[in-house]
Amino acid sequence: MNHTRTFMLLAAMTALFMGVGFLVGGPAGMVIAFFVAVALNAFSYWNADKIVLKAYRAQPAERFANDPAIRAYLEDTRRLAASAGLPEPNICVIDMPQPNAFATGRDPRHAAVVATTGLLRMLTREEVAGVMAHELAHVKNRDTLTMTVTATIAGAVGILSSFAFFFGGGRERGGALAMLLVMLLAPIAAAIVQFAISRSREYEADRVGAEICGDPLWLASALEKIAGGAKRIANDRAERNPATAHMFIINPLSGRGADSLFSTHPATANRVARLEALATEMGRPVRRTAYVDEGPWGARPRGPHGGPWG
């Protein structure tokens, strides 16, 4: 089913790309857009994960294994991957104050999981494990290919549609108004496709991730802290690459918390409620253990838990 959904998504994105090409350059523009879309699909399949990791300046976590928090992150992620029956992924960190995480890669053998230093500073070890179990669930469900390729193509659609503003293609088919509609509607249409697949897959990754780590409440607590941190702390790299927002465990863009068609993620409260219901089904008492103290960042782990850059 996942492969079918992936094929349908890529077909929809390709058709959208071709439609923009037609409005910009007529039949010839549509043909050119088709071949560009095919090339983008092929390039994205092999390289999109590398592009995303480079865009966010992700670094191998092993370089900072002398840090206690990074060492725990490495050990726990390796243990969780083995428990889930997955090959060990590339485990990376991003020097970024916003707490967040994502996974990428075309298949489980070529996967990477990424945590920000802000996440490792703010969360407890159990909560970090819950987050990484969620990301490994995306790898196990083979969501990462679709999510990563979608980010690349959605960005390309936005770039292509913006050409309409500068070139006169399509004047005989509606003039400046048609070009304005292309410029405005094409990125929105790409975003709707991207958002629609993201929300359902986040719920499923929450469920599978909770099973991988063994305690849904670890992830529930982590989601609440990450959501609070993401509202307070900007993610400049995500703001510059909004087509990648759906890859993160919590929307990294400011002011987008609603559980609606135009949200990259379900509302955190909805996700937490589902995880608490799952915890009840698993016989776990729905209560929050006092793992954290309050500090200038809000909820913080007890004891030293700094990131690799201090």
What does the domain layout of the chain look like in residue ranges? 2-301
Percent of the chain residues past pLDDT 70, beyond the cut: 70
The 10s digit of each residue's pLDDT in 95-108 is 999 999 999 998 99
Residue 301 to residue 294: CA distance in whole angstroms: 9
- Check residue 188 and give its pLDDT: 65
| Residue 293, amino acid | D
- Check residue 301 and give its pLDDT: 39
Among residues 62, 75, 126, 135, the one annotated as catalytic is 135
Q: What one-character DSSP code corresponds to residue 45?
A: H
**Cα dihedral: 226, 241, 185, 264 (round 10):** -20
Decide which of 49 and 85 is more confident: 85
- Check residue 178 and give its pLDDT: 56
Decide which of 9 and 307 is more confident: 9
Residue 200, pLDDT above cutoff 50: yes
Residue 36 to residue 219: CA distance in whole angstroms: 40
Residue 295, pLDDT above cutoff 70: no
When mean pLDDT is compared across 9-18, 221-230, 272-281, the lowest value belongs to 9-18
When mean pLDDT is compared across 14-18, 51-55, 75-79, 286-290, the lowest value belongs to 286-290
Residue 239, pLDDT above cutoff 60: yes
Is 135 among the residues known to form the active site?
Answer: yes
Which helix (H) or strand (E) segment is 214 a member of? none
Assess contact for 37 and 18: CB atoms under 8 A. yes
Residue 18 to residue 264: CA distance in whole angstroms: 24
